[in-house]
Structure 1
Amino acid sequence: MPRKPYVLLLTLLPPLLLWFLPASPARAADNGSWSVYPVSSAVAARPYFYVSADPGQTIEDKVVVANKTDEPLTFRLYAADAYNTARDGGFAVKSAGERMRGVGAWADLPKDRVTVPGGKTVTVPFTIKVPEGAEPGDHPGAIVALDERIDAGDGSVALGVQRAVGARVYLSVGGPTLPALAVENVHISHHQPLIPGLGDSTATISYTLRNTGNVTLEPKVALKAHGLFGRTLLTRDLKKIPSQLLPGQSVRLTEQWRGAPQLDWADVRLTASATGTKESATASFVAIPWLVAGFVAAATAAGVWLLLRLRRSRPKGARGGGAMRLRRGAPPAPTQPQPTIHA
């Protein structure tokens, strides 16, 4: 299934973050003013770089920067590693000043700045040299064209904005591959009305989805909940998950459950799956209305108070003294009768 190129926007917040907005398939990454894309192959245009290499191998390719405005534009060119954003798991790349470990460290561009005349394109060759000790698996990244000019914004934003566009690079290093997912730290927050039936009951299910393997995954997550005696309370395929989860990356996600039980014991199971891997995690919660919980707590407190009061009102030593009086007032034990002797 073809992956889509994405447009990047860069805000001046520490650390600098790049994020992608979806574009149409088979089109260059584009923000309306300029675009970045791989040079066309002999067969067809490529919307992204998707290459394979063994450790120690060098790859040669070309990137095109197109200026869609009438004025010349100057861009800073650099290669960057990709990651998943913590906010929603979107595809993002590191800024130029951050430490690179994959594509961002292995790619070499002959120039770090390029000026593109208005309405024209510039083609820039580059190489990716995969080191001998490179770990096998996927190493995603991007070739980025950054406009270093700072937009003042609309007046309501205190910080300026820099814009950038990047063409994705999907680099696969030869060797053993391991698809692996993990579902971790499942937590449930339950909210319900004071009086049963008068209001909605909701549960917020939060969890961490982690790619523990070395290949990019397209995860799916299924949510199931069962009540007492195995009753099915909920079955749902979750939609708010990243379309791609990169190797070694994790994202914290939440799911709202409206109409959660108000009086039940609920067992919740999250099952994450992707090609070649499947993993589950569970959590439970007790649904008790506040009014019922308050009545039970009050009844328990009253019972404890009555028990303590009864114990305090009993005379000290009453049980032992009665036993002693009983022993003092008891008749003497019969003695063995003496035989009568007649002469």
Structure 2
Amino acid sequence: MRKPYVLLLPLLLFLTLATPARAADNGSWSVYPVSSAVAARPYFYVSADPGRTIEDKVVVANKTDEPLTFRLYAADAYNTARDGGFAVKSLGEKMRGVGAWAELPKDRVTVPGRATVTVPFTVRVPEGAEPGDHPGAIVALDERVEQGDGGVALGVQRAVGARVYLQVGGPTLPALAVENVRISHDQPLIPGLGDSTATISYTLHNTGNVTLAPKVELKASGLFGRTLLTRDLKKLPSQLLPGQRVRLTERWRDAPQLDWTDVELTATAKGTEESAKASFVAVPWLVVGVVVAAIAAGVWLVIRLRRNPLGARGTARQAPTDPQSKVGQPAGG
């Protein structure tokens, strides 16, 4: 019986942020722009007005000893929901930018072992294209499915893409929003007997038309404006693409155990700044429960005593039952 496999995403894309003079690479093959007359380019960075056409060339390098055949296609880029990393759409997904505008002369290329193949391509920016950044990639996909080990084999297709940063001419608008701030708070039942942790989750949304490098500052204040925390957050996407949302979380250890806490997140990027707030009440619920129970018992006792004020003293002494007075009766009579 053949082992079933699961096709992931359906492929893994190695599109790490390229540093100068480094190509996108997974160890077996790499994809990068053809070198310019000045220097090697780590990625494509081009600009054009609506209606213009861009021509360029991409290099696919085979680092293995055997020939490899790749499916070539252009794709739009997006930020992953998990951590905001740079990713591109899979073959067959709906494309609206670079993935729809780029044209390759052929959709497959075979590269001999330890060799490179250079492929020209064009990007036709349509009339009426929205101004601003349109990131994407030229992707070389190995269509073979690699099966893993184990009772249920895991099937994976691998791909590498050279990033394309296309900017369409026109007005640019950097804009950033902080949305849906939520706070969950965990603390011990008895103050001081355990850790108190707050988890702050929020959505970072690029509402403009240019790529942003966001920074976020977290501030927390308690009663009477006391500063409890000031922190520059580190778990952020290095590039937040236009229109993209990323859901992020930040843990606050040693959060207050008895306080009214206001949390403010301030996101900044070049040309834009936006803030959002949320609050939570840190209360030791076991102590509160005991106090509430004691107050309730006291109120019940007061009400009972008011309804029956002599109940705790017994009954009053009864008056004589003989209505006749003995005044004036003769002695011994």
TM-score if structure 2 supplies the norm length?
A: 0.87
Matched, 1:105 2:100: yes
1:21 positional shift: 3.4
Aligned residue type for 2:271: G
State the alpha-carbon separation in 1 of the partners of residues 115 and 247 from structure 2: 42
> In the alignment, is the contact (CA less than 8 A) between 1:68 and 1:118 conserved in 2?
yes
Runs of 4+ in 1 over 6 A off after TM superposition: 310-314
State the alpha-carbon separation in 2 of the partners of residues 136 and 14 from structure 1: 30
> In the alignment, is the contact (CA less than 8 A) between 2:56 and 2:120 conserved in 1?
yes
State the alpha-carbon separation in 1 of the partners of residues 304 and 125 from structure 2: 80
1:136 positional shift: 0.4
May I ask how many residue pairs the two structures share in their alignment? 304
**Deviation per CA, 1:57-81, whole angstroms, max 9, x where unpaired?**
0000000000111110000000000
Matched, 1:192 2:192: no
1:300 positional shift: 4.7
1:177 paired residue number: 172
Query: 5 Å matches for 1:102-251?
Result: 102-155=97-150, 158-251=153-246
State the alpha-carbon separation in 2 of the partners of residues 132 and 311 from structure 1: 86
> In the alignment, is the contact (CA less than 8 A) between 2:12 and 2:159 conserved in 1?
no
State the alpha-carbon separation in 2 of the partners of residues 297 and 91 from structure 1: 53
> In the alignment, is the contact (CA less than 8 A) between 1:225 and 1:269 conserved in 2?
yes
Aligned residue type for 2:41: R
Specify every segment of 5 or more residues in structure 2 that has no aligned partner in the other structure, as ranges.
Answer: 1-5, 310-333
SS at match of 1:51: strand
State the alpha-carbon separation in 2 of the partners of residues 208 and 20 from structure 1: 23
Aligned residue type for 1:233: L
Query: 5 Å matches for 1:325-336?
Result: none
Matched, 1:285 2:293: no
- Pairwise CA RMSD of aligned residues? 1.9
Query: 5 Å matches for 1:36-115?
Result: 36-115=31-110
State the alpha-carbon separation in 2 of the partners of residues 15 and 149 from structure 1: 12
**Deviation per CA, 1:255-289, whole angstroms, max 9, x where unpaired?**
00000001111110000000000000000111111
1:304 positional shift: 5.7
**CA, structure 1 residues 204+61, in 2 after alignment: closer, same or farther (shift >3 Å)?**
same
SS at match of 1:21: coil
State the alpha-carbon separation in 1 of the partners of residues 121 and 172 from structure 2: 27
1:195 positional shift: 1.3
Aligned residue type for 2:43: Y
1:297 positional shift: 3.0
Percent identity between matched residues is 85
> In the alignment, is the contact (CA less than 8 A) between 2:44 and 2:165 conserved in 1?
yes
Aligned residue type for 1:56: G
1:261 paired residue number: 256
Specify every segment of 5 or more residues in structure 1 that has no aligned partner in the other structure, as ranges.
Answer: 1-10, 315-343
Aligned residue type for 1:189: S
1:13 positional shift: 3.0
**CA, structure 1 residues 89+152, in 2 after alignment: closer, same or farther (shift >3 Å)?**
same
State the alpha-carbon separation in 1 of the partners of residues 261 and 270 from structure 2: 30
**CA, structure 1 residues 230+156, in 2 after alignment: closer, same or farther (shift >3 Å)?**
farther
**CA, structure 1 residues 70+233, in 2 after alignment: closer, same or farther (shift >3 Å)?**
same
**Deviation per CA, 1:229-260, whole angstroms, max 9, x where unpaired?**
11110000000010110000001100000000
1:319 paired residue number: none
> In the alignment, is the contact (CA less than 8 A) between 1:82 and 1:142 conserved in 2?
yes
State the alpha-carbon separation in 2 of the partners of residues 32 and 198 from structure 1: 51
**CA, structure 1 residues 27+294, in 2 after alignment: closer, same or farther (shift >3 Å)?**
same
SS at match of 1:293: helix
1:318 paired residue number: none
SS at match of 1:139: strand
TM-score if structure 1 supplies the norm length?
A: 0.84
State the alpha-carbon separation in 2 of the partners of residues 294 and 168 from structure 1: 58
SS at match of 2:99: helix
1:309 positional shift: 5.2
Matched, 1:302 2:275: no
State the alpha-carbon separation in 2 of the partners of residues 28 and 16 from structure 1: 19
> In the alignment, is the contact (CA less than 8 A) between 1:16 and 1:94 conserved in 2?
no
SS at match of 1:12: strand
